[in-house]
Amino acid sequence: MEYGEQDPLEIPILCINNCGFFGSATTMDMCSKCHKVFMMKMEQAKLVNESSNSNKEEAIAASSLAMRVDSVEPKIIREAGKLRKRPEGQNNPR
C-alpha cells in the first residue's frame, strides 16, 4: 500500500443515526453513544418480551389447571361409622 492510501476498511464512516460522530463495523456503523442506546433498547425489548411470555405461560397453566379441576367429578365416600360408647358415669354434653 502506498503512503497516503487508506485501506477501505479503515475509512471513517459517519454514524448511521446521523448524529455527526463516526461509527465502526464493530458497532454496526454507529458511534459508541448511539450503539449503547441501541443495545439498551434491545435489552429492554427482550425483558418486556420475556415478561409477556411468562405471563402467557402462567395464564395457560392456570386455565389448564381450571380445566382439570372442572373435569373432576366429586365422589361421595361413605364409611361405616363406628359409634363409641362412653364409659359409664360420664354425662353427655348438652
Q: Is 88 part of a structural domain of the chain? A: no
Return mean pLDDT, the chain: 74
**Nearest by Cα to 12 from 20, 4, 23:** 23
Q: Is 24 part of a structural domain of the chain? A: yes
What's the whole-model pTM score?
0.47
Chain centroid, CA 63 distance in Å: 18
Q: How far apart are CA 59 and CA 13, in angstroms?
A: 48
If one counts the domains in the chain, the total is 1
Q: Is 41 part of a structural domain of the chain? A: yes
Quickly state the pLDDT bin for 83 (edges 50, 70, 90): low
pLDDT for the residue numbered 50: 82
What pLDDT, in 10s, does the model give residues 10-55? 688 899 999 999 999 899 999 999 999 999 999 999 988 887 776 6
Q: Is 83 part of a structural domain of the chain? A: no
